[in-house]
Amino acid sequence: MPHTFNADRREKIAKQKYQVTNWPAYNESLRQRGDLTIWVKDEALSLWTARRRTSRGGQPKYSDLAITLCLTLRVVYGLALRQTQGLMRSVAALMGFDIAVPDCSTLSRRSKGLALPSTKSRATTSGPVHLVVDSTGLKVFGSGEWLENKHKTKAKRKRWRKLHLGLNLVSGEIVCSDLTVDDVGDPTALPGLLDQIGGRVEKFIADGAYIADGAYDGTPSRDLLATRFGEIVEVIIPPPKTAVASPQSVLVPSVRDRYIAEIQTKGRMAWQKSTGYNKRSRAETQMGRWKAVIGPKLICGRLPLASVFCRYF
């Protein structure tokens, strides 16, 4: 149940209680959260060291694959660079690998501008895509934050990045993602998300109901979806509370006009059940899962990692 829609009577809604009926499976799932299982192919060991280059300058010691593996474990387990070095050193010793582990300075230097492998092929599905999109803010932790905590100085401006994710409700996988600056709106980032989808979109669900600006609710977003996937695509975008019907709603009502009329007659909660808008909660759950992995903030200078990691795992 949306918080903003029921904010005026939030205290009257009882807290939901859940009862676990499959205790063995639930306990095993909790144990698996702490399980660390790593498979290393022989090809990965052969590609651990970097190829020698013919140009002038120092020769790189570690390949991009080695740096990517170390930084992946760092993001998943929320480790510092020195702790990441210690974890990789212990893993190599336990598995009996005679490999050198990158130090913390090398990981910090190589992480900037690291070219991660493309994973767009995993997002290609054979059937139609039921796409639900959402975005969240990620705080950038940099020198300004350190100065504010250490010397009690006031930062000039808080810096944020917006992580946009698109979830396929049929398969449950993330099919598109993008990381933008904080002043890029959701409709502006939508064309880049749709470019990453190779299949046909049959249903599109997005936010935009409980605030005046409407988020994805607007003519540009609807026209873009109709141009990309045709008029057959079902667009489920809730209009804001201040939305009014178009002048031609009496003769030729649009989908948005029908949504506004249904909300006025039956109520917003009934409209959500009839259109299937409640399925957008799966995107909220997925967003919470990935924020638990990558954390609520980013390290300054390492911004591209978050958006790629969401498709890399």
Q: Say whether domain 127-312 belongs to CATH 3.30.420.
A: yes
CB atoms within 10 A of CB 297: 17
- Average pLDDT, integer, range 73-80: 82
Strand 297-299 with 129-141, pairing: parallel
In this predicted structure, which of 9-23, 180-194, 248-262 has the lowest mean pLDDT? 9-23
Rounded Cα distance between 213 and 270, Å, is 22
In this predicted structure, which of 63-67, 196-200, 226-230, 291-295 has the lowest mean pLDDT? 291-295
Sorted by where each begins, the domain ranges of the chain are: 32-111, 127-312
Q: Reduce the secondary structure of the chain to three states and give it as a string.
A: CCCCCCHHHHHHCCCCCCCCCCHHHHHHHHHHCCCCCCCCCHHHHHCCECCCCCCCCCCCCECHHHHHHHHHHHHHHCCCHHHHHHHHHHHHHHCCCCCCCCCHHHHHHHHCCCCCCCCHHHHCCCCCEEEEEEEEEEEEECHHHHHHHHHCCCCCCCCEEEEEEEEECCCCCEEEEEEEECCCCHHHHHHHHHHCCCCCEEEEECCCCCCCCCCCCCHHHHHHHHHHHCCCCEEECCCCCCCCCCHHHCCCCCHHHHHHHHHHHHCHHHHHHHHCHHHHHHHHHHHHHHHHHHCCEEECCCCHHHHHHHHHC
Q: Label residue 304 by pLDDT band (50, 70, 90).
A: very low
Q: Report yes or no: 245 and 261 within 8 Å, Cβ to Cβ.
A: yes
Q: Label residue 139 by pLDDT band (50, 70, 90).
A: confident
For residues 53 and 166, which has the higher predicted lDDT (pLDDT)? 166
pLDDT for the residue 16 = 72
* pLDDT above 70 as % of the chain: 77
84-102: per-residue pLDDT in tens? 999 999 989 988 888 899 9
- 13, 186, 255, 264: which is closest to 2 by C-alpha? 13
Highest-scoring range by mean pLDDT, 189-203, 209-223, 275-289 = 189-203
Highest-scoring range by mean pLDDT, 48-57, 116-125, 259-268 = 259-268
Average pLDDT over the chain, rounded to whole? 78
Highest-scoring range by mean pLDDT, 8-22, 72-86, 287-301 = 72-86
205-226: per-residue pLDDT in tens? 988 644 444 578 888 888 898 8
- 168, 293, 169: which is closest to 308 by C-alpha? 293
pLDDT for the residue 296 = 64
Q: Label residue 313 by pLDDT band (50, 70, 90).
A: very low
Rounded to a whole number of angstroms, the distance between the first and last alpha carbons of the chain is 30
Rounded Cα distance between 141 and 298, Å, is 6
